[in-house]
């Protein structure tokens, strides 16, 4: 629905511009008022829908092996991510964590039938119970960052990302997002999209055992 309403808004705005130009050339004041009024009513309706869906949305917590689909501005939702495993360790590759290293194995998959797809500029952050965000430890990754690479139709891959999180962190959850620049602007005003303004997100619960791994 969000994509359809945005397309109607874009097409309607284009039509309104054409009608306003025609009204100006023919000096039809009534047409200017009608088009301007109708456009303002539609934009007000769109804003109510956008913020209404965002403010009534609820955060969803995904468990291990529970996939999250990425759709964005497009009608297809072929790309998915899921957390496959979470380990904790104090040391990693000769480095010592300020708190504990969380090693998170993430799977990226595609159920497309033909096209080769990939996440566009994926971002990974951990969110705690107070909504404080923690960035990944870039120089502690176990391999080169592969998450932007293309996936063949029906394919998948797994790799690990690392976070240095406090010992006493409460309810850590992984937030996976994608997109940059124009993508983010479009999705920010896309009704009922996870990336729209003030919309609640789908987060992965970082479930680990009680034991701490050694490395």
pLDDT for res 3 = 76
pLDDT for res 209 = 53
List of residues 6+ apart from 154 with CB closer than 8 A: 110, 111, 112, 113
**What are the residue ranges in the chain where pLDDT is below 70?**
72-76, 139-145, 209-215
pLDDT for res 132 = 96
For residue 73, which phi and psi values (nearest 5 degrees)?
Answer: -80, -5
pLDDT for res 72 = 54
State which H helix or E strand residue 97 sits in.
strand 95-110
Query: Where exactly are the structural domains of the chain?
Result: 2-56, 60-205
In whole angstroms, what is the distance from residue 105 CA to residue 142 CA? 10
pLDDT digits (tens, 9 = 90+) for 77-103: 789 999 999 999 999 988 999 999 999
pLDDT for res 149 = 87
3-class secondary-structure state, position 85: strand
The pair of structure tokens assigned to 97 is 């964590």
Fold of 60-205: Immunoglobulin-like (2.60.40)
pLDDT for res 187 = 84
Strand 202-205, strand 173-177: pairing: antiparallel
pLDDT for res 21 = 94
pLDDT for res 140 = 54
């Amino acid at each position: 629905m969000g994509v359809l309403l945005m397309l109607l808004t874009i097409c309607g705005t284009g039509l309104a511009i054409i009608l306003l130009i025609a009204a100006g050339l023919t000096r039809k004041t009534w047409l200017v008022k009608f088009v301007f009024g109708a456009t303002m009513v539609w934009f007000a309706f769109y804003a109510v829908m956008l913020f209404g869906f965002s403010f009534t949305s609820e955060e969803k917590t995904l468990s291990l092996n529970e996939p999250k689909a990425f759709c964005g501005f497009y009608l297809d939702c072929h790309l998915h991510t899921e957390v496959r495993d979470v380990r904790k360790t104090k040391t990693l590759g000769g480095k010592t964590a300020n708190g504990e290293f969380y090693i998170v194995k993430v799977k990226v998959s595609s159920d497309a039938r033909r096209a080769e797809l990939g996440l566009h500029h994926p971002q990974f952050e951990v969110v705690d119970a107070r909504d404080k965000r923690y960035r990944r430890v870039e120089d502690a990754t176990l391999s080169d960052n592969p998450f932007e690479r293309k996936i063949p139709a029906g394919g998948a891959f797994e790799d690990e990302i690392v976070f240095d999180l406090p010992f006493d962190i409460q309810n850590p959850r992984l937030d996976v997002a994608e997109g940059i620049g124009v993508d983010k602007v479009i999705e920010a005003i896309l009704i009922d999209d996870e990336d729209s303004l003030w919309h609640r997100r789908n987060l992965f619960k970082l479930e680990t055992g009680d034991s701490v791994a050694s490395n």
